[in-house]
Amino acid sequence: MDLTLIWKTVLIGVVEGLTEFLPVSSTGHIILAEEVLHFQGPPGKVFEIVIQLGAILAVVLLYRQKLWSTAMGVVRREPVSLRFATAVIIGFLPAAVVGVVAYKYIKTVLFSPWVVAIALIVGGFIILAVERFAQRPRMKSLDEVDLKTAFFIGVCQCLAMIPGVSRAGATIMGARALRVDRATAAEFSFFLAMPTMIGAAVYDLYKNWKDLDWHGSGLIALGFFTAFVSALFVVKPFVRFISRHGFGVFAWYRIALGALALALLLMR
């Protein structure tokens, strides 16, 4: 097996795991990284789908107690658990509908380094604005997120279908605008990611079933593992960091990266 291809696969997996739950756009980073590295992974869509599932598995593992208690609470029809589960479902629905309707346009038109670069910059300035003008939080735990807030967060998640916007960034900033505190906004974004990304992966597999190719399964497994491990180590420190310092550093990072990407694209 080509050693160059192996280290590129590891790097792409790490990029996915590190950025999936940060407000910096994992899809945008993957598009830019593949462009810079001239990465040609396993054919078909399997590689991109599987590494995303690796990142999701890390969150499932980290928040297994909340998932289990919610599931048991739903079985026992406990109001708090039912409300939280319903909030996640309601938050998921807008992206599910828009994703199915606009799937072809998103995949064929929007997946471009130019779109990513511009979206990174614009999103960075939006984060700075939300951080500057967000009102004092009124929701400070996951169980306090009401259904109206969950739906609005889900609508914001639809913006993340534009590569470079960031699913985490759109949902977290949408929650912050509705006076959800930073840590709760981030954690609700994690839980919303589970049905959203699993649903997107299943739909991707369905739409691309005829073109799928598991050739290079070793590279696919390597990408999955590196995405899982890197996400495992970034999620909890991220929540602690933004609770103390906010999202400003991620906004400026987005702006700098987007500007650099634009400069490189123009020079090319």
Q: Alpha carbon of 133 to those of 22, 40, 142, 149, 253: distances in Å? A: 21, 43, 22, 18, 20
What count of other Cβ atoms lies within 10 Å of the Cβ of residue 155?
A: 17
216-249 tens-digit pLDDT = 678 888 989 999 999 999 999 998 999 888 999 9
3 state DSSP class of 139: strand
Identity of the residue numbered 196: T
CA pair distance 22, 205, nearest whole angstrom: 25
Q: Answer whether 111's CB lies under 8 Å from 163's CB.
A: yes
**Mean pLDDT across 172-176:** 95
Say what the pLDDT of residue 41 is. 60
Q: Alpha carbon of 108 to those of 9, 103, 104, 111: distances in Å? A: 24, 9, 6, 6
Tokens 């969950």 correspond to 150
Domain count of the chain? 1
pTM: 0.87
3 state DSSP class of 161: helix
Say what the pLDDT of residue 67 is. 94
Number of residues assigned to the chain: 268
Q: Which domain holds residue 75?
A: 3-267
